[in-house]
Structure 1
Amino acid sequence: MKINLRIWRQANGDSPGKLVNYTLERVNPNMSFLEMLDLLNEQLIKSEQSPLEFDNDCREGICGSCGMVINGIAHGQAKLTAACQLYMRNFQEGETITVEPWRATAFPVIKDLVVDRSALDRIIAAGGYISVRNGAAPDANSLPVNKADSDRAFEYATCIGCGACVAACPNASASLFTAAKIAHLALLPQGQPERKLRVKKMAEQMAQEGFGDCSNHGECQAVCPQGISLDAIAKMRREYIRSLF
């Protein structure tokens, strides 16, 4: 199939960027989106042009590396799908596809589609951890956890830290990402020692990094490849209020 591409090219964070047009003629519908970009890079290298830079690693929708905006939607139009798991059969013959990096002040462009997402790491470092000695797996089984709480904690723990929530949010808020970790640990006994301090530190770090606040648009939930609900943000709000007393 033939695909027309409009891709954001930017040499570095200090240089102006622009959308550049490319055409691919031999795209297999069973290719993943990233395999299609690999094909583009082969074409660019053969013509002695600079290859496109884009983040990727596992290509299995697990690591969260492959963040990009496809036709105006973080990760593309397929629901509950990271960009690496999006396939070219989701597009039409001759379609024009626009590909851009995550857009947020806290995610400065490094090159082309690659952005610096280390702000998310710093939010986790501020409080998204436990300090108790948990022991080996058999010891963990000795701590009874309510099944409903366990299921909810697991849902929140599935966050892959891709940053799609930030890219989709009109406020560039990292609330869903931050809330997922806060809610995950707040529901488990291992997370109780730092419970109050955790939410304060992570919320403060999120603000310091330049992310906006949540105004309940729900765009984050719509594009999250793991389907994490806005309920996590409500849980974070309650945890923050709880930490004040």
Structure 2
Amino acid sequence: MTQTRDSETAAGTPKREMRLTLKIWRQPNHDAPGKIHTYEVDDISEDMSFLEMLDVLNEQLNAAGEEPIAFDSDCREGICGQCGLMIDGEAHGPEVTTTCQLHMRSFKDGDTITVEPWRADAFPVVKDLVVDRGAFDRIIQQGGYVSVNTGAAPDAHATPVPKDKADRAFDVATCIGCGACVAACPNGSASLFLGAKITHLGELPQGQAERDTRVVNMIGQHDHEGFGGCTNIGECTAACPKGIPLDVISRLNWDLHAALRHGH
């Protein structure tokens, strides 16, 4: 059995370091075939994030004159949603968090870890672990606008919003569009993402004027992009790092049926 190696920190506290085997999907572009490559990486601290571990591997590859692994990241604070990866077959890995907030203490010295891009036809691979999530942007664009007056700041509470609806809108607005719900869904459905966006504005008075056209147009774009249908398996909400609840999909369906009854 491989033993965990310790080193001393500046404070003299034992610090766990790991040696890992990484099986990583490499694909030069969307049209070229891809395959799994195997790498060994060591001196990995348990305090590193998963992306910092990949940074160490890329430094190692650069030093050897090899092409570094392409992967997405931006804020690295669990906010932007850019860092999604399939880690050992799970969206974002073994913890319910974003990949950038997944730390190496969730793994053990000597582990073999498989890293792949999001698995969804609607998210084509750009290179290696990078996928094109522009489909989400196009769905949002189909949502259009809300009819509110602009100009001087309104008085506080000029538009009353019941607290339960305000809380609900704030909760679902935490969706960061990372795509974990799609990657985790066996059908490749974006219904949780779509339901969060529909529910967010549907709960607020400012979102009522375009409510019917919004849901019809966004669902139409969702289907046009090639996302699958929802069969209420629940893997989406289980993988969601922001805890978007499954019942937003019920709200999505309710709004769609209402819009169809209204002739949209």
- TM-score, scaled to structure 2: 0.90
1:192-227 C-alpha deviation (Å, 9 max, x unpaired): 110010000000000000000100010000000100
Flag the structure with more relative contact order, 1 or 2, with Cα contacts below 8 A and sequence separation at least 6. Answer: 1
Tell me which of 28, 31, 34 is aligned to 2:48. 31
Matched to 2:202, the amino acid is A
* Structure having the larger proportion of residues in strand: 2
Deviation at 1:3, TM superposition (A): 1.1
Tell me which of 121, 127, 130 is aligned to 2:137. 121
1:68-95 C-alpha deviation (Å, 9 max, x unpaired): 101100001112x100000001101110
Q: Distance in 1 between matches of 2:160 and 2:22?
A: 53
The 3-state SS of whatever aligns with 1:64 is: coil
Matched to 2:257, the amino acid is I
Match of 1:172 in 2: 188
Match of 1:142 in 2: 158
Deviation at 1:135, TM superposition (A): 5.1
The two structures, once aligned, show a CA RMSD in angstroms of 1.2
Task: Indicate if the aligned counterparts of 1:5 and 1:99 stay in contact, CA closer than 8 A.
Answer: yes
Q: Distance in 2 between matches of 1:35 and 1:2?
A: 14
The 3-state SS of whatever aligns with 1:76 is: coil
Q: Distance in 2 between matches of 1:139 and 1:27?
A: 54
* Structure having the larger proportion of residues in helix: 1
Q: Distance in 2 between matches of 1:128 and 1:103?
A: 28
Task: Indicate if the aligned counterparts of 1:128 and 1:182 stay in contact, CA closer than 8 A.
Answer: no
Q: Distance in 2 between matches of 1:138 and 1:77?
A: 45
Structure 2: state its 5+ residue gaps: 1-17
Task: Indicate if the aligned counterparts of 1:134 and 1:190 stay in contact, CA closer than 8 A.
Answer: no
- How has the CA–CA distance of structure 1 residues 119 and 91 changed in structure 2, closer, same or farther, with 3 Å as cutoff? same
Q: Distance in 2 between matches of 1:129 and 1:38?
A: 40
- How has the CA–CA distance of structure 1 residues 16 and 184 changed in structure 2, closer, same or farther, with 3 Å as cutoff? same
Matched to 2:62, the amino acid is I
Match of 1:3 in 2: 20
1:100-125 C-alpha deviation (Å, 9 max, x unpaired): 00011111000000000000000000
Deviation at 1:130, TM superposition (A): 2.0
Q: Distance in 1 between matches of 2:188 and 2:246?
A: 15
Match of 1:73 in 2: 90
Task: Indicate if the aligned counterparts of 1:10 and 1:18 stay in contact, CA closer than 8 A.
Answer: yes
Tell me which of 72, 84, 96 is aligned to 1:55. 72
Report the structure number with the largest CA radius of gyration: 2
Q: How does 1:1-245 map to 2 (within 5 A)?
A: 1-79=18-96, 81-127=97-143, 129-134=145-150, 138-139=154-155, 141-245=157-261
- How has the CA–CA distance of structure 1 residues 136 and 206 changed in structure 2, closer, same or farther, with 3 Å as cutoff? farther
- How has the CA–CA distance of structure 1 residues 28 and 216 changed in structure 2, closer, same or farther, with 3 Å as cutoff? same
Task: Indicate if the aligned counterparts of 1:172 and 1:212 stay in contact, CA closer than 8 A.
Answer: yes
- How has the CA–CA distance of structure 1 residues 191 and 37 changed in structure 2, closer, same or farther, with 3 Å as cutoff? same
Task: Indicate if the aligned counterparts of 1:34 and 1:84 stay in contact, CA closer than 8 A.
Answer: yes
- How has the CA–CA distance of structure 1 residues 238 and 193 changed in structure 2, closer, same or farther, with 3 Å as cutoff? same
- TM-score, scaled to structure 1: 0.97
- Over the matched positions of the two proteins, sequence identity in percent amounts to 61
Matched to 1:41, the amino acid is N
1:110-146 C-alpha deviation (Å, 9 max, x unpaired): 0000000000000000016424235566546321111
